[in-house]
Amino acid sequence: MNFIESSSNTSETPVKLFVQDVGQGKPVVFIAGWPLSSEMWEYQFNVLPKHFIRCIGYDRRGFGKSDKPWDGYDYDTLASDLNAVLEELDLYDVTLVGFSMGGGEVVRYLSQFGDKRIARVALISSVVPFMLKTDNNPDGLPKEMFDGFVESAEDDRPKFLAEFAKSFYGNSFLNSNVSDEILIWHNALALQASGRATSRCIRSFSETDFRADLAEIKIPVLIIHGDADKTVPIEVSGQKTSELLPEAQYIVYEGAPHGLFITEKERLNQDLINFIGGIVHEDSDLNDDDEDNFASSVGNL
């Protein structure tokens, strides 16, 4: 397993972050959503390397195979972790892809560290610009709702996460967008996190205002959001982000829930390939040897 150490002012002890690095070509760094790890990107990592796209994912501190410290779940520290990954791998001309909570890391990184390493960013079902209802953000979601999430997570985390997963993918009594087995897989990934990280990150993604961060972005942006997202409603997030970034490419997935990296995986993969500039397999000059070379570079997730 590959780990990168990240140091921050929250602790003298570096935090080890688990990193996946798959394929060759244009580098893309994927930042996972809460409460999952980089393994959530399985169906992207299985496809994009075939299009000369190098897929890099890391487990956020407190989640997956990364270290699980007590503190450091604020976005300034999380952006520093992303910077550590980019610096250690010496990446340039990068596409950052942030899902849900991961969208916050993307925009906070750009406001703190600039875009010298970054070519473009994609915000998928993202929590930006600001989730919380306040006097100057009246369309946000009530703090009492997030307080309830924290209380439930700290009281019975497995039960809370299992119930949360159903709406994450738009499952209901009369409608199953994903199989029971996908929900089991989702919950297994979520339970790898520490309880502390699970609850502290609820506070971070719900209470952090990214509107000033968005104003610093000067590179191409792709916004993708499902209009049936009950976890991060499009009216609070994707729509407002598109208004703050009028030059961004904004794609609405009609009828799609929050977890569209699973429910809309084929469409999402193609939209990412188009945005990144990957070579479309059907139109490329790849021969069998080329395909074998790329397959050998993928390895196991």
Structure tokens at 15: 């935090």
Structure tokens at 139: 């369309």
Class of residue 40 by CB neighbours under 10 A (exposed 0-12, middle 13-18, buried 19+)? buried
Which one from 59, 74, 213, 229 is the annotated catalytic residue? 229
Residue closest to 158 by CA, chosen among 180, 183, 182, 190: 190
Sequence length of the chain is 301
Which one from 38, 206, 258, 271 is the annotated catalytic residue? 258
Active site residue 281: no
Which one from 100, 125, 204, 237 is the annotated catalytic residue? 100
- DSSP-derived secondary structure letter, 51: G
Q: In what order do the strands lie in the sheet with 11-22?
A: 2-8, 11-22, 53-58, 26-31, 94-99, 118-124, 221-226, 249-253
Class of residue 131 by CB neighbours under 10 A (exposed 0-12, middle 13-18, buried 19+)? buried
DSSP output for 214-267: HTT--S-EEEEEETT-SSS-TTTTHHHHHHH-TTSEEEEETT--S-HHHHTHHH
Instruction: Tell me how far apart the alpha carbons of residues 98 and 221 are, in angstroms, rounded to a whole number.
Output: 11
Residue closest to 101 by CA, chosen among 15, 210, 191: 210
Active site residue 242: no
Instruction: Tell me how far apart the alpha carbons of residues 297 and 177 are, in angstroms, rounded to a whole number.
Output: 32
Active site residue 258: yes
**Where in the sequence numbering do the catalytic residues fall?**
100, 229, 258
